[in-house]
Structures are given as structure tokens and as C-alpha cells.
Amino acid sequence: MSPFSNPLRRSIVPLLFSNGAGSAQRDGISNFTALSALSSQYLTKFRGPLQVSFNGQRYYSTAAQVASLEPPPTDSLPSWESGPPAGRSRSQTNSFYDVTVEKYAAKPLSPLTLKKMLSFGESMGGEQLERKVIKSAQFVQSELPVRLAKRLLDLQLLPYIVVTNPHIKRVYDAYHRAFLVLKDFPEVTSMEQNQYLTALLTKLVDEHGPLLTSLAKGLKECTTRPLVGPSLSLDPFLDNMLRSRISRRVIAEQHICFQQRREGYIGVICTELSVAQILGAAIARTEQVCRDTYGTHPQFQVTGDADTVFSYIPAHLDYMFFEILKNASRAVVEHHSRIAGSRGTRLPLKSTAMPPIVAQVCKGTREVTIKISDQGGGIDEEVQPKIWKYGYTSVDPTISLGSSSASPVADFRTGAAMDPMAGLGFGLPVSRLYAQYFGGNIELMSIPGYGTDVYLRIHRLGNQSEYVEI
């Protein structure tokens, strides 16, 4: 088998340049042209050759060579069916995974807190702004490759049936390309270089946006296989993957938005985030998608300390509110429609014919707690242990209650969030990861036959370190 046909080796060389000739050998990655163009931009700017290490050798290319590259035909790829080339052992061939990824994965992480991120962004102007931007860029360069390497190592250690799944392989290839590009990007020492790093980060954040759906689909395909599916225990792996994804997006997007100096923001952090405003926006979207799906929606009531403000990332709170409210609305409408239907009542029900969903906000000394209560019939006792498992869903595959992509704060430039995916069973577990990321949590109490209370706790002091992946 050719090493390029192995799903864990196909992406070893996203850009492999010959020495001086300007030709390229690679595995046919679909976005070769885009990566080449991106590389060409910063090669031209920095007026130096790109250096890529592969199998202990170094390869170079000038910007002009990069710009002229085209993906080679499949038959031009090297064939190692009879073994590695003369003078190169299989251990050398595999050294990239044995050395580079593992070397980076072994490095410690540097956990962040909201307070650190806020204090770093204060009092910026003139030369101080330039110094802080460059320091932020260098932190990004040192931290992101390490976090990517840890997840690459996790992916390499997955069972064969999982890692060969095309959706999972797509995730691996994208992570590996990002790891290579970030690892080899020249250290930023000027604002001019930072512009190119910022462009690269923006591109990577955008490209990695759909990967959560790929990950969810891949894992669903694997776990539903009749023989091997029940034996796969992937929740710890997914916790680390998704927690790492949240952290990487926060780091990248904080650096991108840090330079924009928006009023009331330091990077992606809103310095005076209004609970009432975010909750109100989530309620409006929930009403809309519920009405589009069922023709009606329950009413909402907000009580308590709704005027609470604190420093937080808006899209994280938006994601959690929308996911919880969406689940509560579906439960209320379906439960009471069944009851009304059994009595011969005309459907759809009016909003006033259903009990309201109540969001109660309580501001404590250290935490803000939001309790969201519904009377949607509760969760059966045998189902309750499953609700935090990835892939579990009670959503009819023909019904979708939308995603947070419609949210004005879901875009990475304003919030570092991911879209919920109705029906894939990731919404509630991912919401809990968001809450835990800066020391909060989501807890759920349900009374079968009556309703459910969801408690969202958020640290408001900003001194909790991010819950980093292992």
C-alpha cells in the first residue's frame, strides 16, 4: 500500500516543494491551490524561501515557484509498494508522526482566564498597541500548534474503523494542514508580519467552521454500525476534541478581534454583557424556528436579576441559551399538542394555551445562575442518563429546529461560537462544554410527566482558568 493511501499519512505533505525545480509532489488535497496562494502571499512579503521539513530532509521554494504550482496527476506520486526508497527506512518514513506531532503534543498548555485576556487588552495605544499585538501573535504561534498536535495524536490513536471514516479523515486532514502551516509560519516580530498571520488565522477559522458537522456525522456513522458501534466509547475523546476546538477558536479570534478596538469589547469579550439582551435575542430566534416548525410557539417569561451585566463572550452565552430554549420549546409544544389532540382540540395550539417557559436570572457574588423551567412533560427516567451522551437525540429526523447560524453574534468576529445541529445529538453536550470552559456548568433536573429545570451557572468574576483539554 502506498503511504499516501493511508488516511493518517495522506496529509503529511500539504505543500512539498522540490529543491530549485519548482515542481511539487503531494497527495491531491483538494485545497492545494488555496494553500499555495496563501503561502505565496507571505513568501513574497517576507522575501524568503518556504522551508518544509519532511522525513529528515528540508525542502525550499520561492514565492514564484509556489504561485506556479499545480496539483500533479495521480500517476506522478511516488510509489513505495515494494518498500521505501533506497537509503530510507520505514522508521524514517514514519518519523514525522513519531517525532513532530508527539514532540508538540508533549508540550504544556498555557491556560487563559477572562481576567487575563481583559487586562492584557486594556490601556492600548501607540507603541503599546504594537507591542501587545506582536506579543499576542507570538502567543498564538506558540499555543495553537501544541493544541492541534494533542488532538492529532488523539485522532491517530482512534480505532481503525473510526479513523478511516471519510468524515473523520476530513477533520484529521484539516487539522494536520493547519498544524503544518502554523508550525512553519515565521515568528511575528512586526505589525507587517502580523497582518499575514491574522489573514491566515481568519482563513483557518473559516475553513474549520464546518468540521464540527463532519465530526458529528463521522462518529454517528461509526457508532451506529451494528457489530462494532456498541463497543465504541468515544465521549471522552469528543470532550477533548470539542473543548480544544472551543479554546483554539477563542485564542485565534481573540487575536483577530483584539486589533479592531470595538466599543465595549476587548477582542471577542464584551466587557458589559447584558443577560437580558442575549436572552431576548435567543428567545426571539427560538420563537421564530418553533413557529416555522410547528406553526406555534410557547410564551416566555424572564424574571429575577435580568439587568445583570458582566464580562463574557456573547456567542458562548447565546449558544447555550438558544440550545436550552429550543429543547424546552419543542418539549412544551409536542407534549401539550399530544394532550390537546387526544381531547380533539384543534391544532396548532395558540401560545396562550400552553404554559410559558420561565427564565429566572439570579446574580450571586461569584456566579450568575439562570434557571430555565418548562412544563414539557419531563424526561423519562431511563432516558435521563443518555442526554449528555454525544449522538443521542430524540429529534425526529424530518424535523429541524434550526441552528444558531442565524444569530447575529454567532459569527467568529463577534463571538467564537459553533452552530448547534438539531438531530445530531451534540447541542446539549457542547453547551455544557461552553459553560465549563470558564468554570461554569449546566445541570438538569427533570420530573417525568411534568417538566424540566435547567440550571446554567456562569462565573462572573472572570478569574477561572479555561477548562483545557488534556
Give tens-digit pLDDT for 373-397: 999 999 999 999 899 998 887 766 5
Examine the domain organization and report whether 113 and 130 are in the same domain.
Answer: yes
Across the range 336-340, mean pLDDT stands at 94
466 is a domain residue = no
CA 426 to chain CA centroid, Å, is: 12
Report the pLDDT value the prediction gives residue 463, as an integer from 0 to 100.
73
CATH of the domain at 109: 1.20.140.20
Do residues 139 and 188 make contact, with C-beta atoms less than 8 angstroms apart? no
pLDDT confidence tier of residue 399, bands split at 50, 70 and 90: low
464 is a domain residue = no
Across the range 416-434, mean pLDDT stands at 72
Do residues 290 and 401 make contact, with C-beta atoms less than 8 angstroms apart? yes
pLDDT confidence tier of residue 98, bands split at 50, 70 and 90: low
Tens of pLDDT, residues 230-268? 888 899 999 999 999 999 999 999 999 988 888 999 999
Do residues 126 and 261 make contact, with C-beta atoms less than 8 angstroms apart? no
Q: Tell me the residue length of the chain.
A: 470
Examine the domain organization and report whether 290 and 222 are in the same domain.
Answer: no
Examine the domain organization and report whether 220 and 279 are in the same domain.
Answer: no
What percentage of the chain reaches a pLDDT higher than 90? 57
Q: Where are the alpha helices (DSSP H) in 23-123?
A: 32-46, 63-67, 90-93, 95, 102-105, 114-121
What is the distance in angstroms between the CA of the first residue and the CA of the last residue of the chain?
Answer: 34
> Into how many domains does the chain fold?
3
219 is a domain residue = yes
The burial class, CB within 10 Å (0-12 / 13-18 / 19+), for 80 is middle
Rounded to an integer, what distance in angstroms lies between the CA atom of residue 197 and that of residue 255?
A: 10
6's grid cell: 493511508
Report the pLDDT value the prediction gives residue 467, as an integer from 0 to 100.
76
Examine the domain organization and report whether 452 and 316 are in the same domain.
Answer: yes
Short-list 313, 325, 334, CA closest to 246: 313
Examine the domain organization and report whether 298 and 263 are in the same domain.
Answer: no
Report the pLDDT value the prediction gives residue 466, as an integer from 0 to 100.
82
Report the pLDDT value the prediction gives residue 319, as an integer from 0 to 100.
96
432, pLDDT greater than 90: yes
Between these two residues, 329 and 14, which has the higher pLDDT value? 329
Last residue of a domain, one of 243, 267, 291: 267
Residue 192, number of CB atoms within 10 A of its CB: 10
Last residue of a domain, one of 93, 111, 139: 93
Lowest-confidence region among 213-227, 299-313, 348-362: 213-227
Tens of pLDDT, residues 34-71? 444 444 444 344 434 444 333 344 433 333 333 333 43
94, pLDDT greater than 50: no
Provide Rg for the chain, Cα atoms.
25
CA 311-317-320 angle, to 5 degrees, is 160
Report the pLDDT value the prediction gives residue 346, as an integer from 0 to 100.
87
Tens of pLDDT, residues 133-156? 999 999 999 999 999 999 999 999
469 is a domain residue = no
pTM: 0.75
Do residues 342 and 348 make contact, with C-beta atoms less than 8 angstroms apart? no
Examine the domain organization and report whether 101 and 81 are in the same domain.
Answer: no
468 is a domain residue = no
28, pLDDT greater than 70: no
Across the range 5-10, mean pLDDT stands at 36
Report the pLDDT value the prediction gives residue 406, as an integer from 0 to 100.
32
CA 333 → CA 5, 353, 384, distances in Å?
Answer: 50, 10, 20
Its domain, for residue 167, covers 96-267
pLDDT confidence tier of residue 470, bands split at 50, 70 and 90: low
Report the pLDDT value the prediction gives residue 52, as an integer from 0 to 100.
39
Report the pLDDT value the prediction gives residue 469, as an integer from 0 to 100.
62
pLDDT confidence tier of residue 226, bands split at 50, 70 and 90: confident
Examine the domain organization and report whether 87 and 104 are in the same domain.
Answer: no
425, pLDDT greater than 60: yes
300 is a domain residue = yes
Do residues 172 and 14 make contact, with C-beta atoms less than 8 angstroms apart? no
Whole-number mean pLDDT of the chain?
A: 78
